[in-house]
Chains A and B, each alone.
Chain A
Amino acid sequence: MTTIVSANIQSILSKKQLDNNRECWEIALQTVTAEQVRRELASPAGKFSLERLVTLLSPAAEPFLETMAQQAHALTIQRFGKTIQLYAPLYVSNVCINSCRYCGYNKTTQIDRTRLTIEQAVSDAAVIAGEGFRHLLLVSGEDTQFVSPDYLCELASKLKEKFSSLSIEIYAMSQAEYAQLFNAGIDGVTLYQETYDRDVYADYHLAGPKADYDGRLDAPDRFASAGMRRIGLGFLLGLTDWRIETLAMAEHASCLIKKYWRSQISFSFPRICPATSVQSQWPHLVSDTNMVQMMLALRLCFADAGIVLSTRETPEFRDNLMNLCVTRLSAGSKTNPGGYASEKTAAEQFEVADSRSPEEVARIIRSHGYEAVWKDWDVSFNKLG
């Protein structure tokens, strides 16, 4: 499917453009001065321009992190209130036909593969609902044979009773398949581009449908066209220069926001984590300071974007980030299919760094002066609700 926005995104992020942009962005990032950062921080927070984001992401902005944090904190409270929303992921399959070098589900890796039947998935979901969650994220490897649109629709119809909002973080689908899911009550999709750099992308995605860079880049266009209300973007932090990636992701987000103005964008920050049979050395690891700068710069350009943090991060880091600009946290996550209801341990996608219980995380949120929000959506919005 070719649409105007995908044409825009493709042209902005086409190989030639991205290469041109990269050089231009690299130079721009390095030449920002402290005075430019000061000037940018004196202008109203929350509006995106590439120049603004370059300035706030630049090495020259690093000494201004506290000022950026103060502004991001104030803007987040103004737009989202003193609240943090909680959600839980439900992994339904770790079978995958892709071969991504960073992922524990890589098809060439020898791990225990588990697929949850509808009944098993419902059992896991019941545990999650029992913990208080009303926002559920269904996650799977690219298991097109088993985790088909029909499977997801059937599961959604069983989960609607217990949950207010159902989203997916699975393989890229066609627009018709996304529409089928939307009509079944799934109204949010998170899909990471992993990297916006085509060469790096090719290097890490060796086989399977996911090796198609353009097919993936176009996916948010397809699911937003299908009506999805929540668009989750992200890239894997650690594959290549995080500053350049953030600029590319922001361009992507900006195009999507303009065209799909009824849908809300959120950003996630998946930092590469250790996993079984995955290399442990990475060329572009992102430090805590870098990650904070990235989050703050995005918030100061996108006032209303969701900022999502998973249990990949440590309890200490997550607790500190609550006060900055995070709006959504997962808690008590099990990244192995069946991990909630069964003691049997299937292989995880990544190792969870924050294993505190949801109630404990909610308590910490409250101790920071925020309301832990379990429900902020209603199935009645959807046709079949």
Chain B
Amino acid sequence: MSALKIAGKEFDSRLFVGTGKFASNALMARAIAASGSQMVTVALRRVDIENENDDMLAAIDQTKYQLLPNTSGARDAAEAVRLSRLARAASGIAWVKLEVTPDPYYLLPDGQETLKAAEILVKDGFIVLPYINADPILAKKLQDVGCATVMPLASPIGSNQGMKTKASIEIIIEQATVPVVVDAGLGAPSHAAEAMEMGADAVLVNTAIAAANDPVEIAKAFKMATQAGRIAYETGLASKSTTASASSPLTGFLRNE
């Protein structure tokens, strides 16, 4: 399995994990370890980014994981940019998962504001990983302004519905020149495997791990599924056929010749 490269940094794991919704920070730490992930996103609203002893940050070993602060809760570009800048000033981390989600119910991303914020942040030296609807044109525009990845959603965040936007994600993967990380809505390891088999460069999972009965075991399952999907993609699947190939109902008579 090849390594994933984002903004010049290599990652052996292609599973990104979120940190919200866990029953405790200790459990979160164990689940992250079991996931094998090297990229961990945290909501800036949830942590005191300048405080090393913050209960959540203290549970994430930053020597092992790339911390990916996210702007969850931002209603527009201005809020996301302000939050990102203050967080970088306090923590020195230039990576940002850009989330502009003005609707607090489905948390769907605002493409227009995301593009506006991405442009400003990239110019400002940030490594920007934007969370977007599965919109191939928007993905191209974000790529053009210098985003390090694009992160289209599989289905609404936290919904565990799986690859509802599959047809559009296929187009994004086909056209992208930056890594495509399928984010949001992956509810089962099989969903992650499906995204990876399609050629996604990575997947991000939070709710499906954090809200599971046993987050540690499920994290392991997602790790395996992500790897399985990637290996299958790199190796290539056997071609599909709509019929079984053993019998030849139409031409079988020829064998009697």
Contact = CB atoms under 8 A, between A and B. Distances in A.
A16 interface: no
Grouping DSSP codes into helix (H, G, I), strand (E, B) and loop, the A interface class, with mixed when no group exceeds half, is loop
Contact of A164 (B20, B45, B86, B211): B45
Interface in A343-385: 366, 369-371, 373, 375-378, 380-381, 383, 385
Contacts of B23: 82-83, 369-371
A82 B79 contact: no
A298 to B, nearest CB: 15
A307 to B, nearest CB: 15
A259 B4 CA distance: 43
A80 interface: yes
Interface string B66-78: 0000000111000
Contacts, number: 77
Interface string B96-129: 0000001111000000000000000000000000
A304 B24 CA distance: 21
Given A78-B158, A377-B45, A264 B104 contact: yes
A81 B82 contact: no
A304 B103 CA distance: 11
B82 A377 contact: no
B22 interface: yes
B173 interface: no
B164 interface: no
B49 to A, nearest CB: 9
B22 A371 contact: yes
A304 B160 contact: no
Contact of A81 (B20, B45, B47, B73): B20
B82 A385 contact: yes
Given A257-B105, A261-B105, A381 B22 contact: no
A72 to B, nearest CB: 14
B104 A82 contact: no
Question: Is the interface on chain A under 10, 10 to 19, 20 to 34, or 35 or more residues?
Answer: 20 to 34
B210 A81 contact: yes
A81 B20 CA distance: 7
Q: Of B21, B87, B104, which is in contact with the most chain A CB atoms at under 10 Å from its CB?
A: B104
A77 B212 CA distance: 9
A262 interface: yes
A31 to B, nearest CB: 32
A263 interface: yes
B75 A82 contact: no
Nearest to B102: A262
Contacts of B21: 77, 80-83
Nearest to B44: A378
A82 B158 CA distance: 13
B22 A81 contact: yes
Interface string A61-97: 0000000000000000111111100000000000000
Interface in B42-75: 43-48, 73-75
B83 interface: yes
Contact of B24 (A229, A261, A366, A376): A366
B45 A78 contact: no
Given A229-B75, A304-B104, A371-B22, 9 more contacts: A82-B21, A82-B22, A82-B210, A261-B102, A261-B105, A264-B104, A366-B24, A380-B44, A381-B82
Interface of B: 20-25, 43-48, 73-75, 79, 82-83, 86-87, 102-105, 158-160, 207, 210-211
27 contacts: A77-B211, A78-B160, A80-B21, A81-B21, A81-B210, A82-B22, A82-B23, A82-B210, A83-B22, A262-B104, A263-B104, A264-B105, A370-B23, A371-B22, A371-B23, A371-B24, A376-B43, A376-B45, A376-B46, A380-B44, A380-B82, A380-B87, A381-B45, A381-B73, A381-B75, A381-B79, A385-B86
